[in-house]
Amino acid sequence: MKAKKGQALLLKKEGFEEVAVKSPHEELRLSKGRITVTLYKTGTLLIQGNDKEIHQVNTLLEKTDILPKEVSGLTIGSDESLKGDTFGGIVVAAVKADDKIRLKLAQAGIKDSKQVPDYKIPEMAKKIRETAEYEIISLFPKDYNLEITKYTGVTFLLNKLHHQAYQYMIKHHPEKTSIKHIVDKYPGCTVGHIIETKADENHIEVAAASILAREEALKQLAVLSKEAGFKLPKGSTHVADALKKLKERKVDLSFFVKVDFKNVAPFR
């Protein structure tokens, strides 16, 4: 489940004692008899004990107003990157996880990509690839621009790619109908069994997907920067100088940018 340190500390009123953490990824560790409660820096709270003991702790946690247990069993979380960037196309990644995989991801310190500096993304992405099954769909600008002409906006394309990534991952799974798809909500999102705002903060499989998507986005921008001959900017705020340079070189802008963006129009 997800929790904050202040909430977990309320368990001390129920006889739990604070003990030393065992890894740099742990925020807090509490113990009572054979029960151990560990809060990771990602906000994931882990309860360890037998079924009866875990049930008892769950009852206590309900009294402390800690958020209810997050989705359990086999799930697939998906997230995208580059959606709001002028340069680059679009990337959607999906990660499959069960309770054991979620624990391993939490122990590895995996969290939402927005909370991770770019230089740490490859290291985290490597841990995810070594831990969980995943799928990445990466459209460079040329392909993005071709796809976007088929739809009335990026939302339709995103719905298609998220669904496609999910379908790829359940294709050969015997229990495909039971695998829940968790999507970080975006405007117009119509795919997924569980669609949540800030799903990348509340579900570690979605956080892992956001890391993989961000890594692929950075790779895209690196390739495009090499083609351009200079480092292309991220985002859409400070891009005018880069667009001007490309226009002066009379290159095909659709190779580098999303041509449907309004800030691109003056340079076409």
Question: In this predicted structure, what is the pLDDT of residue 129?
Answer: 97
Under a CB-based contact definition with an 8 Å cutoff, are residues 243 and 112 in contact? Answer: no
Tell me the pTM: 0.76
Structural domains for the chain: 5-63 (3.30.310.10), 75-224 (3.30.420.10)
Q: What would the pLDDT profile of 190-208 be if each residue is shown by its tens digit?
A: 899 999 888 988 899 999 9
The yes-or-no verdict on residue 65 having pLDDT over 60 is no
Q: What would the pLDDT profile of 114-146 be if each residue is shown by its tens digit?
A: 889 999 999 999 999 999 999 999 999 999 999
Q: How many CA atoms lie within 13 A of 64 on its CB side?
A: 20
Question: In this predicted structure, what is the pLDDT of residue 152?
Answer: 74
| Distance, CA of 192 to CA of 167 (rounded, Å) | 11
| Mean pLDDT across 157-174 | 91
Q: Which residue has the higher pLDDT, 59 or 31?
A: 31
The yes-or-no verdict on residue 251 having pLDDT over 90 is yes
Any idea what the Cα angle at residue 36 is, between residues 12 and 104, rounded to 5°?
A: 130
- The partner residues of 32 in beta bridges, in order of sequence, read 35
| Mean pLDDT across 224-243 | 96
- The secondary element (H helix, E strand) that includes residue 156 is helix 154-170
* Contacts with 208 (C-beta within 8 Å, 6 or more apart), sequence order: 77, 95, 97, 105, 110, 128, 132, 134
- Rounded to 10 degrees, what is the CA torsion of 231, 127, 51, 57? -40
Lowest mean pLDDT among 103-112, 211-220, 248-257: 103-112
